[in-house]
């Protein structure tokens, strides 16, 4: 399980048609403890810059089995 710190975040209120049932939802760029950054969705409580998060799941894309999926993080 990956952990890291919120680098930046935003809440999506106007989403593409495929995600309208999820609105509003939060996305963030996470600076990983092991290095690098990844964009993911936030589950549960909203996060802010510098909050600690833990990866809880990776959702596989229905559009293509070749995609690595979207990581989901939760406030630590």
Residues 6+ apart with CB under 8 A from 40: 27, 28, 30, 55, 70, 71, 72, 73
CATH class as words, domain 3-75: mainly beta
Q: Given pLDDT bands bounded at 50, 70 and 90, which one contains residue 10?
A: very high
Predicted TM-score (pTM) of this structure: 0.84
C-alpha 8: how far from chain center = 11
For 53-75, the pLDDT digits (tens) are 999 987 655 544 444 588 999 99
For 16-45, the pLDDT digits (tens) are 898 899 999 999 999 999 999 999 999 999
The predicted pLDDT at position 68 comes to 59
């Amino acid at each position: 399980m990956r952990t890291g710190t919120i680098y930046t975040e935003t809440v999506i209120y106007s989403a593409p048609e495929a995600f309208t049932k999820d609105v509003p939802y939060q996305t963030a760029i996470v600076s990983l403890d092991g290095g690098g950054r990844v964009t993911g969705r936030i589950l549960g409580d909203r996060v802010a810059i510098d909050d600690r998060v833990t990866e809880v799941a990776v959702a596989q894309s229905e559009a293509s089995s070749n995609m690595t999926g979207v990581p989901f993080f939760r406030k630590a």
